[in-house]
A and B are shown apart, each in its own frame.
Chain A
């Protein structure tokens, strides 16, 4: 087998005569067939055969410093490219270190194909060295998983895994490969088409349902579109814009849907949900027609379900039928891909209802209740920091985040006009996601500016991945929103636990600038807006990784807010 240097594009389809190769060589060959551009991984005993096959095989491999880093990087890669991220880890601890990333990718529907080594087939179940029951552990947090029992089934399994990961509602698929399978010889045949009778996602929506949606639009006086990440995954941003402009319906984005509709558009009402805009939430509360396209009505979006869209006829367009009716009763279910559904809608003679008053009303709310913070002329407000990043990157950077206050400020103040630029952990809310995700994002989009906006807490969960930035010369800009606190926890303790700041303050921080230097990167520290301006301007122009420790006040809170248990119309902090 030609396992020499070879670019993925140069693969020619027909395979040579049925010569036997080892399981690990099959893996490499299958990755070539799938045109995999990069692998994120970490070696170990049970994957030594795979790593040996990888040696000199010509598929770039990114060696992170922790398996969690590898899988978050793969998620970042998947988010910006739309292609499956590929991960390899060893058995036992290597595999269990992937658990957070798998759960994260499952929640946020990110396509991943993850390979784990396993102890030899003959000792599985004997508590062998570095054995963990990976299949059982990851069953509930993968879209599907496999343990390979027979080397000849490996090509089929890998082909199915890529198919399952990337089609329908995307998600992570794991393949557990016992060590002996990796070294056993078998026939590599990748030509068989995928045959999965139990997996037939509905892509094209039912025309009758589409007509019902069109009829509902014609009757609605107060319609609103809720656009989720499904729009981004489907590559439907263009169709959504065309549809919205045709029918003149205002748009709310979910946290993960940001970028699926241009934030600068006059019909954009902002993000909805717990820290969404007042206009977005009130529009979803008051509307008489809610058209959900590719969002899953997460509780952080809906607030108390009793009050959510309570006056509305609900349309839900989703590729995953199980999401429809799961949280919110739905009047017009449409199962299908967001782009296909929008195209079908655009083929209908769409009529608009009498919406003039509603449009004026929502625009007034948008104008009267913008996101706000109090600029005091001193120091550096975290919200202002995000505004500066927006300004200096021309609004076209890829932004990754951790989880917490800085994440919400990034969502509120970085106004995404284009899809696949917003990389954040939504469903699972995984601290430590930002830096490794930025690695994957930068690899997926080499020519783009990638800024990791991270919390001082979350950054310290995965900071060892700074090494990867230097190793692979990835010019990621790491911006630490350093409030010397687990800010979001501190905020909740202030608001709901009588300011009893139990274990949420981080007074003794390491010197992040020195840390950057230890990793051979440039480090900066800024305390004021003026410093931030100067440093951001300089750092963003540098073709190398940079870390900026931004000292911001600890007391700042994220507003507006829907308190837990409240309806989305009961926001607090909507004005200074």
Chain B
């Protein structure tokens, strides 16, 4: 099962190396990793998705992360109320004959066409990784020529608003 960890680190040179090196050395598998700045200067947020079924492994990953001097906070947010988002760029075969079909198909995903060529279109989609997966599966029969995914970035919800927003979200999703 995938677990999503958010890791707040000092924004120092080499920190990403420290983290990926740690995963390599300890034999932990990274599904995806994203890094970016945060609201606090000098701190970065990493969102790391790992494939681990054994809670002992997840615990070991978290403890090993904490041993890094540059790691300030690690949270396993998998089971918390959270928002997880990913962006995908998909160039799909789409001669004029299928173009309107593709356009209709992506509409419920609230994906958009951001580039149009003679034989293909480029689609941009954001959302939960499951949604991206579903979109990719639907587009595959048309022939995907190029695919780029950012990996997940995520954080927890402001708990007071959780129930409300998730209802809102369910309506909007798909």
Contact (Cβ within 8 A) B69 A198: yes
Contacting residues, chain B, for A329 (C-beta < 8 A): 56
Candidates A196, A198, A326; contact of B60 at CB < 8 Å = A326
B71 contacts partner chain A, Cβ-Cβ < 8 Å: yes
Contact (Cβ within 8 A) B64 A198: no
Q: Within the complex, what minimum Cβ distance (angstroms) separates A18 from chain B?
A: 25
**Known A-B contacts A140-B25, A325-B56; A199 and B17 likewise in contact (beta carbons under 8 Å):** no
B10 contacts partner chain A, Cβ-Cβ < 8 Å: yes
Which chain A residues in 457-474 approach chain B with CB under 8 Å? none
Contacting residues, chain B, for A326 (C-beta < 8 A): 60
> How far is A198 from B74 in the complex, measured between Cα atoms in Å?
11
Contact (Cβ within 8 A) A196 B69: yes
Contact (Cβ within 8 A) A139 B67: no
A429 contacts partner chain B, Cβ-Cβ < 8 Å: no
**Known A-B contacts A322-B60, A325-B59; A197 and B21 likewise in contact (beta carbons under 8 Å):** no
Q: Within the complex, what minimum Cβ distance (angstroms) separates B21 from chain A?
A: 6
Per-position binary interface string of chain B over residues 37-80, scored 1 when its CB falls under 8 Å from any chain A CB and 0 otherwise:
00000000000000000001001100110111111100000000
**Known A-B contacts A321-B63, A326-B60; A144 and B69 likewise in contact (beta carbons under 8 Å):** yes
Contacting residues, chain B, for A136 (C-beta < 8 A): 17
- Most chain-A CB neighbours within 10 Å: which of B18, B56, B60, B67? B67
**What is the number of residues of chain B that contact chain A, defined by CB distance less than 8 Å?**
21
B14 contacts partner chain A, Cβ-Cβ < 8 Å: yes
Which chain A residues in 125-148 approach chain B with CB under 8 Å? 135-136, 139-140, 143-144, 147
> How far is A196 from B56 in the complex, measured between Cα atoms in Å?
28
Contacting residues, chain B, for A164 (C-beta < 8 A): 69
Residue ID in chain A nearest B60 by CB atoms: A326
A320 contacts partner chain B, Cβ-Cβ < 8 Å: yes
Contacting residues, chain B, for A140 (C-beta < 8 A): 21-22, 25
**Known A-B contacts A198-B10, A321-B63, A325-B56; A139 and B70 likewise in contact (beta carbons under 8 Å):** no
Contacting residues, chain A, for B60 (C-beta < 8 A): 322, 325-326
Contacting residues, chain A, for B70 (C-beta < 8 A): 198
> How far is A468 from B17 in the complex, measured between Cα atoms in Å?
38
Contact (Cβ within 8 A) A198 B56: no
Contacting residues, chain A, for B17 (C-beta < 8 A): 136, 139
Per-position binary interface string of chain A over residues 411-432, scored 1 when its CB falls under 8 Å from any chain B CB and 0 otherwise:
0000000000000000000000
Which chain B residues in 1-40 approach chain A with CB under 8 Å? 9-10, 13-14, 17-18, 21-22, 25
Residue ID in chain B nearest A139 by CB atoms: B21
Residue ID in chain A nearest B71 by CB atoms: A198
> How far is A283 from B6 in the complex, measured between Cα atoms in Å?
43
Which chain A residues in 311-359 approach chain B with CB under 8 Å? 320-322, 325-326, 329
Contact (Cβ within 8 A) A198 B59: no
A-B contact pairs, 20 of them (CB 8 A): A135-B14, A136-B17, A139-B14, A139-B21, A140-B21, A143-B69, A147-B13, A197-B72, A198-B10, A198-B69, A198-B70, A198-B72, A199-B69, A320-B67, A321-B63, A321-B66, A322-B63, A322-B64, A322-B66, A322-B67
Question: Which 10 A-B pairs rank lowest in CB-CB distance, beginning with the nearest?
Answer: A322-B63, A144-B69, A198-B72, A199-B69, A140-B25, A198-B69, A321-B63, A198-B71, A322-B64, A139-B21
A interface, CB within 8 angstroms of B: 135-136, 139-140, 143-144, 147, 149, 164, 196-199, 320-322, 325-326, 329
* Extra pairs beyond A139-B18, A199-B69, A322-B67 (8, CB < 8 Å): A135-B14, A139-B17, A149-B13, A197-B72, A198-B68, A198-B69, A322-B66, A329-B56
